[in-house]
Amino acid sequence: MSMLVIGSLAFDDIETDHGKVADAPGGSALYFALAASLYAPVGILGALGDDFPAEELAFLRDRGIDIDHLEITPGGKTFRWGGCYETDMNKRTTTKLEQNVFQYFSPRLDDDLARSQYVFLGNIDPDLQLDVLDQLEGPKFIGADTIECYIADKPNRIRDVLARIDIMFLNDDEARLITGQHSIISAARDILRLGPRYAVVKKGEHGSILAMEDGLFVVPAYPIHPVIDPTGAGDSFAGAAFGYLVKESDCSPSILKRAVVHGGIAASFTVEDFGLTRLKQITAGDIEERLEFFRAVTLF
């Protein structure tokens, strides 16, 4: 398989100032895969209960996403998460967390998956991320994400992951927590010292920073108003960026810069509605149209 994502699939309950939804399909792997599939074929490795709707799985197949390696537990319940966002969409409170079948998830890679060239480790336990890394055979490019609870509970394991990957995607609070640096620029540079060639620090409505050995690349956010729901924006960002790399078959700094722009464009669609709604609707043509506008408003 060329591109593989390992992560969660879930039911989400989401509440923002613009309304609420319940039992919306979500999870880091789904957001990543839907965005990545706009560029190149992608496979998912994750765990589900048999309560996950068959029509949602059929939609993924129709989008060219390989779901043959999903672990579906008969009689099991899918991971459930709930979150309530403040008016400042950068702040949220977790209102529900039921791991269900996901607590027993132990990724096993067959020969085909082990030879995947582009691998993304979603925000799962760093012990699971390291287990996956041990099973890979000669990958070309590895990326990872994380969340604050793992940084707080397993900081040394997070550092072990960082030492073995090519690119880390994280938000500004996570970068500060890992490095102890308040300055985002200093934090991004310290992330590189821990191992990866690249680090992408996402700053929500303030854009993102790509840090690399020879400098920085700063990208503003695509202007969206109003933001309806930021859930999954970071995962779709990473998915589009990875998909672009696979499409170009190139991981050089110049291509990484373009990939980060594509990531921001995909995320701009994600936040326009609740859950996966917009990612399910858009096409590669929609991405290109928004890129043309983005070029116009950032050129000087």
| Contact between residue 265 and residue 240 where contact means Cβ atoms under 8 Å apart | yes
Residue 299 lies in a domain: no
Q: What is the pLDDT of residues 137-192, one digit of tens each?
A: 999 999 999 999 999 999 999 999 999 999 999 999 999 999 999 999 999 999 99
What per-residue confidence (pLDDT) applies to 9? 96
pLDDT band (50, 70, 90) for residue 111: very high
Overall domain count for the chain: 1
Q: Report pLDDT for 205.
A: 86
Residue 298 resides in a domain: no
Q: Which residues contact 34 (CB under 8 A, 6 or more apart)?
A: 60, 63, 65, 236, 239, 276, 279, 280
Query: Domain for residue 158, yes or no?
Result: yes
Look at residue 58 and tell me if it is in a domain.
Answer: yes
pLDDT digit string, tens, across residues 65-80: 999 999 999 999 999 9
Specify if 92 maps to a domain: yes
pLDDT > 90 fraction of the chain, expressed in percent and rounded: 94
Confidence (pLDDT) at 55:
96
Residue 92 lies in domain: 3-290
* DSSP string covering 221-255: PP--SS----TTHHHHHHHHHHHHHHHHT--SHHH
Residue 29's nearest CA partner among 100, 79, 73 is: 79
CATH number for the domain that contains residue 152: 3.40.1190.20
User: Would residue 295 count as lying in a domain?
Assistant: no
Question: What does the pLDDT read at residue 142?
Answer: 98
Residue 122 sits at the vertex; the CA angle it makes with 18 and 168, to the nearest 5 degrees, is 100
Residue 157 lies in a domain: yes
**Does residue 300 sit within a domain?**
no
What local confidence, expressed as pLDDT, does residue 152 receive? 93
pLDDT for residue 107 is more than 90 = yes
For 237-271, what is each residue's pLDDT tens digit?
Answer: 999 999 999 999 999 999 999 999 999 999 999 99
| pLDDT band with cut points at 50, 70 and 90 for residue 85 | very high
Q: What is the residue whose two structure tokens read 């949602």?
A: 56
